[in-house]
Structure 1
Amino acid sequence: MRHITLLFLAGILLSFCSCRSDFETVASTGDLTFSKDTVYLDTVFTNLSSSTYTLKVYNHSKNDINIPTIKFNKGLNSKYRMSVDGAQGNQGKLFENVTLLAKDSLYIFIETTVETDNATPTEFLYTDQIEFDGGANLQKVELVTLVQDAILLYPNRNADGTTETLPIGNEKKNGFYLDKNDPIHGNELHFTNKKAYVIYGYAAVPEGETVTFDPGARVYFHANSGLIVSKKASIHINGSTSVTDKLENEVIFSSDRQQPDFAYVPGQWGTIWLQEGSVNNTIQNLTLKNATVGLLIEGNDGATVSIKNTQVYNCTHYGIQAKNGLIKGENIVINYTGEASLACTYGGNYKFTHCTFNNNWSSPGQVAVFISNYSTAATPETKDLTQATFNNCIIYGSYSNELFLSKKTGATFEYQFNNCLIKSNNTKDPLYQFDTDPVHYNTITLNKDPKFFNPNINNFNIDNTSSAFAKGNSTYLIPLDILGNTRTLPPDLGAYQNKPFPK
């Protein structure tokens, strides 16, 4: 009997559902609400598709409604396209008779591919509106996109249809050599500040050539892209001090994902790789963000890599990774890296002055500075670390030990820290005798908070309440800080001269 009752109820329910093959809707009354009044698609590069942005549309009424039309104000000529709950409509531009149930919502996904010619000449903005219904019930959501003109650099297609590749390590990846006589772009080895550059794949500097970046150059890398400086080739990054927060004279390397949600996401592109045998490399006033490894510097055959006034942020593995490198660094700031902000491995020769090496990565395995004289992946396994000197530097972060020294027998291991603020609790290890080893440590400020302004957004300014305030030694003075401010005596530790924090 119980089974018969259940079957009878199921039959009634099925009969009710089958009678309602279509929802009974009422016309839209212009009372839709939206997750945003304006959708900003952020910066896109000319002729490149944007990321996908979301708009949510709500029906708060008790009725299922019918929206007669959802369309762009510019109609089928709009440079925007959308899908409505997965439907593509007419060319992604026009949707008719869209049903929205009571107390429900629908998703609209929006993209654009636009040229600078379509934008307003003075503001470089491309705008449109999504229109819901019409007449007295018309509702609108604004769309705004900043369009940036760009030079696109990418691998060519070979005659057999395959993509041009470069040997990278033991494998081949999509890549190409920069050409100083390119028929389309002219000198690809000279990056100016006239237009932005977007690089697909790995761009390589040919042997014997120099790639130059003017002040204000902007280079954006797509996923799995980077820059390689080959043997006997050089890189000259010639940024200079900016006078505004727009960093107008800074050279910037970043991901081509320009929307705010990706501003602090590591690993969006590859690396800047100074290969073994590259020469005469100079880097000044560079900001590099969101790479896998920021700067990868291999043995330089006695040629010093000069790095000044440089910031490296949000890298999956390392900010600067040197393998038997030769580096002189001044006013460098690195933060938020998955393994080490600065890694000086497999020996080499390094001197850093007035640098801030911090690491606020969330896992406890990261460090700010890692130094070793060996590599398990190389032959021979050890090489001499002839110098690793840090003067007036800050080595800090979210972990209890932000300095990691790793020494193997078979090669020298020379290191020295002078007037540095260091976070470490390894005081029982013979490599970390901060107070009793004057050969390796002089005037160390241990485990004191430097009180950075906001390391979570990579702001490492300090004020006069910082433990780094006036703790430097004038013997190692770099007269100007990373922003071009004059240092006072005695100088502060790290890359920044103190100033009052904004209120």
Structure 2
Amino acid sequence: MNRYLLRLLAVVAIVVALFSCEDEGYLNSPDAQLRFSADTITFDTIFTTIGSTTQRFTVHNPYGENILVSRIRLSGGDFSSFRLNINGEVGNEVYEIEVPARDSIFIFVEVTIDPNGQNLPMVVQDSIEFTTNSNIQNVQLIAYGQDFKLVKGETVKTTTWTAEKPYLVYDYAYVDSTSVLTIEPGTRIYFHKGAGLYVKGKIKANGTFQQQIQFLPDRLEDSYKNVPDQWNGIVLFSGSHDNVFNFCVIKNANIGLQVGTIENEGYASVKLTNSKIENMAYAGLFAIKSKIYAYNGLIANCGFYAVALLVGGEYEFYHTTIANYWGNFSTKARSTSSLVLSNVLIIKDSKGGSTTYSGDLGKATFGNSIIFGNNTQEIELGNNNKNEFNFLFENCIMQVADTFNTSNKANYKNVWKGVKYDPLFIDPYIELNYQLDTLSPAKDVGKLEFGEQFPLDILTKDRTGDSGPDVGAYERIERKNGR
């Protein structure tokens, strides 16, 4: 009896509100239609139990009279995974919302998805129902959820991370000096803001072209897909040897991959192949007195340095594309070079003093590679004239000033420098596509020996099928019609 009475009172209240509209000057036509800035609100993959970012849409009154929306509610009610803020009022059901003539109100939507124990993504749906003059309209809500394995401030012993479910790292994951972290092909590792992966032991991240290993931030909405500085990055401490990253993607951190640490003895070493490091706030690849062997790599779009090789070390890069067109995410222009080679590092302290670190640059070889960007000088050399400083650019396209001296054949063999040798990437600014245009001067000018040593490019295209290998990570193969 009480439930019936409550329902009756609610109906009476709505009817009274509707009839009072005419007295208060509201549009009371049953044909009145609100207009929505979107008819469906979609949330990209959301980790279960982790709340989404807030999305919003507008509800517009196109008429010359005010409209009173008698009710706005989530169809799923209190059992819905979604939450609403209706023009500043928090609640999943709100009555008598006025929309002024030819004006709009805002609806804000969030979602938290409960785990279901399954590995595959799940879909959660609901709708927002608007009742105006007995006329009902709906905006659909769709969210895709994903269960995950949480790693929070954890010391990782020898183990294998699998592709069964994604991993979500909070704070840090630390691989101690006696342990090996093996990561299977297809594994996805997401990092919360401020989190990082720190390795004193070893990491073996060996993906495949079809199943690449991804190191990404945990904000998966489309608006975050190329935003840097969403997590700290990966650090290989000095003393960490024989690390492997093959067919890996590292995106949107502060420093993508740091190899070596100044405060630790010894060096770090890594084999970095068929991998991409993109959209870093500070540096893509930052190495200190270490050893790197790399080929088929893309390192792009970094706020300071794409690649910094400091305090000496031994480095080999073949068929590597270093492309730095920073600027889409910051109003501050980049004043640094994309590639820095140095046998010295000076660190200043807060008291005005400084500490100098130096080491022999035993080898820094760049073969069949591209170093280019939107600055005039994209290569910086730092030599203290005390330690060894050995480097070689061979069959490379380089963005340097015309005054940059490349006459020493011990350091430069078959190099093409300056803006007239722009490699003509397909779209380095918007789509961040660093493949070569059909008119690129990088086509077919690579050293044949390097092309035969690495016959497949980063997309597994054959470098040996035309008149010569292209320089950089991508091979341009023309179709018969020239496209």
TM bucket, shorter chain:
0.7 to 0.9
Shift of 1:178: 2.2
Name the aligned partner's letter for residue 314 of structure 1: N
Instruction: Say yes or no: does 1:266 pair with 2:228.
Output: yes
State which of 36, 39, 42 in structure 2 corresponds to 1:37: 39
Instruction: Say yes or no: does 1:407 pair with 2:409.
Output: no
Name the aligned partner's letter for residue 294 of structure 2: G
Task: Give the ranges of 4+ consecutive aligned residues of structure 1 lying more than 4 Å apart after TM superposition.
Answer: 26-30, 500-503
Q: Secondary structure at the match of 1:76?
A: helix
Query: How many residues are treated as equivalent by the alignment?
Result: 437
Name the aligned partner's letter for residue 97 of structure 1: E
Instruction: Say yes or no: does 1:98 pair with 2:97.
Output: yes
State which of 56, 59, 69 in structure 2 corresponds to 1:57: 59
2:7 maps to what in 1? none
Shift of 1:241: 1.2
2:428 maps to what in 1? 455
1:377-420 alpha-carbon deviations (Å, 9 max, x no partner): 28552211111110000000111111111222321111110000
Instruction: Say yes or no: does 1:292 pair with 2:254.
Output: yes
1:348-375 alpha-carbon deviations (Å, 9 max, x no partner): 1111000000100122413221111111
Instruction: Say yes or no: does 1:214 pair with 2:205.
Output: no
Residues 386 and 413, structure 1, Cα contact 8 Å, conserved in 2: yes
Task: Give the % identical residues.
Answer: 31
Instruction: Say yes or no: does 1:359 pair with 2:330.
Output: no
Name the aligned partner's letter for residue 402 of structure 1: E
2:5 maps to what in 1? none
1:183-222 alpha-carbon deviations (Å, 9 max, x no partner): xxxxxx3221111111111110122101111110111111
1:80 maps to what in 2? 82
Instruction: Say yes or no: does 1:235 pair with 2:207.
Output: no
Q: Write out aligned runs for 1:345-494 (5 A).
A: 345-362=310-327, 363-377=333-347, 380-425=356-401, 427=403, 432-434=404-406, 436-447=407-418, 448-456=421-429, 457-477=431-451, 478-488=454-464, 489-494=467-472
Give the TM-score normalised by the residue count of structure 2: 0.86
Residues 303 and 334, structure 2, Cα contact 8 Å, conserved in 1: no
352-361 or 33-42, which moves further after superposition? 33-42
Q: Write out aligned runs for 1:141-160 (5 A).
A: 141-155=139-153
1:271-309 alpha-carbon deviations (Å, 9 max, x no partner): 100011112211100111100000011168366310000
204-213 or 292-301, which moves further after superposition? 292-301
Shift of 1:327: 0.4
Shift of 1:270: 0.4
Name the aligned partner's letter for residue 108 of structure 1: I
Name the aligned partner's letter for residue 408 of structure 2: D
Q: Secondary structure at the match of 1:62?
A: coil
Q: Give unmatched runs, 5+ long, in structure 2.
A: 1-22, 328-332, 348-353
Residues 267 and 292, structure 1, Cα contact 8 Å, conserved in 2: yes
Q: Distance in 1 between matches of 2:281 and 2:474?
A: 25
Q: Distance in 1 between matches of 2:439 and 2:180?
A: 45
1:48 maps to what in 2? 50
Shift of 1:115: 2.4
1:318 maps to what in 2? 283
Q: Secondary structure at the match of 2:339?
A: strand
Shift of 1:86: 1.5
Q: Distance in 1 between matches of 2:24 and 2:388?
A: 80
129-138 or 445-454, which moves further after superposition? 129-138
Residues 28 and 67, structure 1, Cα contact 8 Å, conserved in 2: no
Shift of 1:31: 1.2
1:128 maps to what in 2? 126
State which of 284, 292, 300 in structure 2 corresponds to 1:335: 300
Structure (1/2) with the larger strand percentage: 2
Shift of 1:238: 0.9
Q: Distance in 1 between matches of 2:277 and 2:461?
A: 20
Q: Distance in 1 between matches of 2:64 and 2:417?
A: 65
Q: Distance in 1 between matches of 2:203 and 2:254?
A: 20
RMSD, aligned α-carbons: 2.2
Q: Give unmatched runs, 5+ long, in structure 1.
A: 1-21, 156-175, 181-188, 243-248
Check 1:287–1:198 CA distance in 2 against 1; reply closer, same or farther (3 A cut).
Answer: same
Residues 40 and 142, structure 2, Cα contact 8 Å, conserved in 1: yes
Residues 401 and 426, structure 1, Cα contact 8 Å, conserved in 2: no
Name the aligned partner's letter for residue 200 of structure 1: Y
Name the aligned partner's letter for residue 424 of structure 1: V
Q: Secondary structure at the match of 1:223?
A: coil
Shift of 1:136: 5.0
Q: Secondary structure at the match of 1:203?
A: strand
